[in-house]
Amino acid sequence: MQNEKVAEMLEELGDLKEIIGENPFKVRAYRRAAEAIRRLSTPIEEIVKKGKLSEIEGIGTSLATKITEFVKTGKVKELEELRAKVPPSLRAFLEIPDMGPRT
């Protein structure tokens, strides 16, 4: 699994949480974690295997659990649940350049 895939997953989680009105601090935490993952020079799989995710700035226990789940299974249960809550037509707007949850 590439670091970029993990970052994209975190961004999608953040976007969907913003759409449903989640706490803005949590939304920003997902986005900051995505950027931190993108900046890594080490493959995320190695970091997960060594149990060192929490050493990355901005990644706490909750995010580390989601990242580990994604690296090991290719899925995150919470992401699947949010995708089910947010209509596909609304999620499609996230794919348009310069459009986001707030636009």
Question: CB-side exposure of 103: number of CA atoms within 13 Å?
Answer: 11
The number of folded domains in the chain is 1
Domain that holds residue 51: 3-95
For residue 70, is it within any domain?
yes
Residue 94 has what pLDDT?
Answer: 63
Residue 92 has what pLDDT?
Answer: 62
**CATH label of the domain that carries residue 29:** 1.10.150.110
Residue 87 has what pLDDT?
Answer: 82
Diameter of the chain measured on Cα atoms:
39
For residue 86, is it within any domain?
yes
How confident is the chain (103 residues) per 10-residue block, as mean pLDDT? 94 93 95 96 96 94 96 97 86 62 55
For residue 80, is it within any domain?
yes
Handedness of CA 54, 28, 3, 63 (dihedral sign): positive
